[in-house]
Chains A and B, each alone.
Chain A
Amino acid sequence: MVATETPQGLTSFPVTKMCALLSVGIPIFASVAGVKHWFLLYIDPFISEYKQYYRFLTFQVAAVNETDVILLTLIWYYFRHLERLFGSRKYISLITLSWAYTSVAIIVAAWVFNLIPFFKWNRFTSGAIPIVMSLFHFYKEHTPQMYQFDVKLIKPLGARSKQLKWTFNDQFVINALVAILLLNQGLVSIATGFLSWMCGVFIERGLFPGFDMFRVPFFKQSSQSASTGIMASESHSSTPDLDGAAVTPGPNNGDDEHGDEPGDEPARPLGVQFLNTFRM
């Protein structure tokens, strides 16, 4: 039985935490160090003239635009359900796969597109838009809609206009975030987003292999992970079955370890001690 409440905070979502922190941290570092241009990809002049092929690897690493940074960070946060569902290792493997497949797909598509003499696809998006769009397919596939609500505007455009009705569901925030993200870099990001979303579909259907077999090596499972149970069950069954794998992580399974006495003063972590310093 799946616990409906998502655990608080990001302590049990190490991969989500890493992605969200990196998608803020790398742009800040790039901005402070003055190396934002490492994360730009244009065919002319970077590839055709300067032969800087490393940019194929870096263009998804950081967004150079502040709004994109914020949007991507928020979207990573919303995607934490995926980490809970798949387990940290499978999730990071999926991210890696998406990164590889979307990069290849976009570059091949741009190359094919540029064979047409009249058009030119020169600019590429910056930031993890392709990865996020590929994961968005998985998010949509595996997140059930919990509720929906209507917004009705009665005669908003004068007396003779009809009543307007909009239906929203509980996912409208992430839908809106993704929509803004897609529009934010113009036509290129819409095309890139669509391509990447297709990549997500292909990865899930097995057309792009690796979703079931590929796992990132050297991944250390932290004991705090939300999905320890999942990892255990996954290692037992050779074909991971999502329904069977979604065992309750059990947020309250540590209560018989220390026998906390009710009157005992709880230990003050360092953070609390700092805050207490300023509480006068």
Chain B
Amino acid sequence: MEIDGNTVLLLFVFLFILYSNPSGDGVTSQYEYIQLQTLKAQYQDEFAQFGNLSHSSNFRNITGLKLSYGDVLRQPDINATYPIQGKDYDHWFTDQNYTLLPEAVSDQVNNEIWATKHNVFPPNVTSTLRGRVVNSHDGFLPMPMPIPEYYEPAQDLIQNRPSLSEPYVADPGDYTGSHNITFDEGEIVMEIISTDSTSSPLEPEKRFHNSQSDKWRFLHLEIHLSDLAENQKHSISTKAIYDIRNGRILAVSESAKFHSLFALPHYMNLKEEDETIYNEVKTLVEEYWNATDFFNTRTMAYLQNSYAAANSRCEFLAFLQLEPWWGYSKEQIKTIDEELVWPLGRRANLSSLPPINVSSGLIYSPDCGVKLHMNNVSGLRHELQIKKMRNVLLLGALLLASQIYLLLRQMHHTNTPSMVNKISYWGLSLMNLVDGALAIIFFYMTSSFAALFQPLIVCSFACLILASVFEMRYMISVYASQANERNVSLFTLLRRSTDGDERTAPAVILDEASISSSLYRSYIFKTFFSMIVILSMTTWPRSLRVPVESFAVFVLNSYWVPQIVRNAIKGNEPRRGTTGNSSRRNQNKPPLLWSFVIGTSVIRFLPAAYAFSVPSNIFYHHQDRPFVALVALWLIFQMAVLYSQDVVGARWFLPNYTIPDGYGYHKAISAGELLEHGSSENYTIDCAICMTDVAVYVEDIPETHKVDQHEYMVTPCGHIFHTGCLENWLSYKLQCPVCRSPLPPL
């Protein structure tokens, strides 16, 4: 390439675009720079105030904590610009004049939720808990919690400075807007994320040394709430403190309108038991602040995300009480923890480990005035859950291996084109679709379950081998053996004859290589398409997802239906009817091995049965036992029809008049045809396969009438061979050996 001035200029422009992207903290304009500096200054100021706080003094100018419930109750349109006249900043009591909580809520927390005394609790509670929440609809007053205006993005390009005005002056807006929780009963999923390392989607992972790790843990709680129909979904990201001695968890959401980190010590000490609790939690928060370098590591992304969270969500305080692990000593729990993290075969008896169980819990939203009660929220320890998933995946890999084995046996069973011709392409293709999509989904899941990488990769590999090597290979040979039927009508196929049916027979039948490349193309397309559909289905609301899923499972479990149709088209004779001639019986043996039919049905039914009928399944799939029973009955029905076709003939369910006669290879010929073949004096024709004479039955010539018509075969294209010669050939290829026109199978 010739390099001239324009090219160099282009290169510079290119490099400029490449390197002028936002720096580490994501600032792209002066406006954003000032925004971020304001945020940092705000946080620094609040942290300084936090340092001066004691267990008996009130919050001053901290975002989201300026007002108390009592203030709002007295004066609902209160302007919270600091300092508020008449507000007592020098004392702290846990009543509604000082806290965000109404009296009823704090009483309930103190008397009902956090009622358990000192006991043995697991120090490591990393887990995913699931349960129900009930909305109590108590009609609490929503508190104004406006977003500081510097959080707002620039209105236009000219604006250089964010508005620093006090937000309370502006219109308070609809705090309980569309994002409020309005359902009566819903589901809750709580992910309790690790303790001593502070990773969250918005912050880089860091380890911080918790000097009180035997008493307190710092947690991240991701709370997902949804109603039972999954129409409303709420995700709350919180920071939480876990009191190991009492099994209490306090989680507080964090956003642009609620800098909740500074509220943790006061609210953890809600029962006002002890000044030391306040001081210990305060130390923990300060350690966290310093270890994460909280003030310096705020980025533009954090600012924008917390602004978005503040706009679209309510703020929450969650008070949880864990159930104690009765009967475990501290040493036992230590051993269990070590064994879970680094399994060596210690005496931990993991199989009888109790789940993490929230005995009582309450979620209160100050700015939406909503109170939720938790019911039956529990879940396995994260490591145990992973172990359970690993076992299920290993069983899945075992199923896949047995499916590969069965398929190989089946392929070995049908090793001639005549046999392969009787297999249904569409039945195989249904199985292939499922296996191919599973392979990709397993592979996709390796990125979200790092702990399960190996079993997932094994399953993915097994699926891939099964789908794209073995099943595809089988489908290619089935497709190739049926290539000469492609543009033949169903009726002609049923008749097995081409008489009087003008059709354009493909002169050249595609070879396997071109068939395989076209099949692989469609395979890859179908696989990716179904993967995308399946992955997006998981996010659909339940009312849409469940029927679609049930329908899809039902259809995908109908893989024997195409085979039943295929059998009817090919018209296998009943097993009872065939006597004598062993080669004829051989031609008539059922194309599918019974071990393959039953084994495949069981292998493909088990995972669906597991997901639909085991309550604690690893997919968190809903239970629907009647549906499982329906699918099982449907599979049994299909197998029963297959069996009946084998016993009483493949076309027993078709009325007689719909079954035309098939093509008969054994028939008399006319003298004219004999002449065409160049007759010899003793009325024989040369068999093109063995090059010896074939005696034929000619209708017009009585001398030939003692010839057995079963000794020779006449093809639809008018060529004549010995029966044995042509039958042997037909087991290799369904083409006329002379003119290559397609032949109906025997």
Contacts and interface: CB of A to CB of B under 8 A. Distances in A.
B468 to A, nearest CB: 10
Interface in A262-280: 270, 273-274, 276-280
Interface stretch (B11-19, B78-86, B142-150, B338-346): B338-346
Contacts of A278: 516
Nearest to A32: B454
Nearest to B451: A34
Most buried by B among A31, A32, A45, A46: A32
Given A52-B345, A270-B412, A32 B394 contact: yes
A280 B516 contact: yes
Contact of A277 (B387, B390, B397, B512): B512
Interface in A18-57: 31-35, 37-38, 40, 45-46, 50, 52
Nearest to B458: A32
A46 B343 CA distance: 13
A40 B345 CA distance: 10
B473 interface: yes
Nearest to B470: A274
Contacts of A37: 343-345
B637 to A, nearest CB: 33
Contacts of A40: 344-345
B470 to A, nearest CB: 8
A46 B412 CA distance: 49
Contacts of B455: 32-33
A33 B390 contact: yes
A270 B473 CA distance: 10
A244 to B, nearest CB: 42
Nearest to A51: B347
A50 B343 CA distance: 14
Most buried by A among B411, B512, B517: B512
Contact residue range for chain A? 20 to 34
Contact of B408 (A35, A52, A270, A276): A270
Given A31-B454, A46-B345, A274 B513 contact: no
Contacts of A45: 346
Contact of A50 (B347, B472, B476): B347
Contact of A38 (B345, B346, B472, B517): B345
Contacts of B472: 277
Contacts of A277: 472-473, 476, 512, 516
Given A270-B411, A273-B473, A34 B387 contact: yes
B523 to A, nearest CB: 13
Contacts of B301: none
Contacts, number: 43
Interface in B452-477: 454-455, 458, 469, 472-473, 476
B73 to A, nearest CB: 56
A46 B347 CA distance: 10
A274 B473 contact: yes
A50 B345 contact: yes
Interface in A58-94: none
Given A33-B390, A270-B408, A274-B473, A280 B345 contact: no
Interface in A244-270: 270
A270 B412 CA distance: 8
Given A270-B412, A277-B476, A33 B394 contact: yes
B458 to A, nearest CB: 5
Contacts of B343: 34-35, 37
Interface residues of B, number: 23
Contacts of B412: 270
B396 to A, nearest CB: 12
B512 A50 contact: no
Nearest to A55: B345
Contacts of B344: 37, 40, 46
Nearest to B472: A277
Interface string B125-161: 0000000000000000000000000000000000000
Contacts of A50: 345-347
A248 to B, nearest CB: 34
Nearest to B514: A280
Nearest to B454: A32
Nearest to B456: A32
Interface in A188-213: none
A52 B344 CA distance: 11
Nearest to A276: B512
Nearest to A29: B394
Contacts of B458: 32
Contacts of B516: 277-278, 280
A4 B719 CA distance: 58
Contacts of A33: 390, 394, 455
B252 to A, nearest CB: 36
Interface in B258-297: none
Interface in B324-349: 343-347
Interface in B229-278: none
A35 B345 CA distance: 9
Contacts of B347: 50
Nearest to B339: A37
Interface in B375-398: 387, 390, 394, 397
A52 B408 CA distance: 42
Interface in B500-517: 512-513, 516-517
Contacts of A270: 408, 411-412
A33 B387 CA distance: 9
A232 B390 CA distance: 48
Given A32-B458, A33-B394, A280-B516, A274 B469 contact: yes
Interface in A77-119: none
B332 to A, nearest CB: 14
Contacts of B473: 273-274, 277
A279 B411 CA distance: 20
A37 B338 CA distance: 14
Contact of A280 (B394, B397, B454, B513): B513
Interface in B346-372: 346-347
A213 B666 CA distance: 68
Contacts of A280: 513, 516-517
Nearest to B347: A50
Contacts of A38: 345
Contacts of A35: 343
A111 to B, nearest CB: 21
Contacts of B513: 279-280
Contacts of A32: 394, 397, 454-455, 458
B477 to A, nearest CB: 8
B192 to A, nearest CB: 22
Nearest to B411: A270
Most buried by B among A34, A40, A45, A50: A34
A278 B519 CA distance: 12
A132 to B, nearest CB: 25
A45 B517 CA distance: 59
A151 B516 CA distance: 53
A266 to B, nearest CB: 15
B451 to A, nearest CB: 9
A52 B473 CA distance: 49
A279 B516 CA distance: 10
A248 B408 CA distance: 36
A29 B397 CA distance: 11
Contacts of B346: 45, 50
**A-B pairs with the 4 shortest C-beta distances?**
A280-B513, A32-B454, A37-B344, A37-B345
Interface of A: 31-35, 37-38, 40, 45-46, 50, 52, 270, 273-274, 276-280
Given A277-B516, A280-B513, 19 more contacts: A31-B454, A34-B387, A37-B343, A37-B344, A38-B345, A40-B344, A40-B345, A45-B346, A46-B344, A50-B346, A50-B347, A52-B345, A270-B408, A270-B412, A273-B473, A274-B469, A277-B473, A277-B476, A277-B512
10 contacts: A33-B455, A34-B343, A34-B390, A40-B344, A45-B346, A46-B344, A50-B347, A270-B408, A274-B469, A274-B473
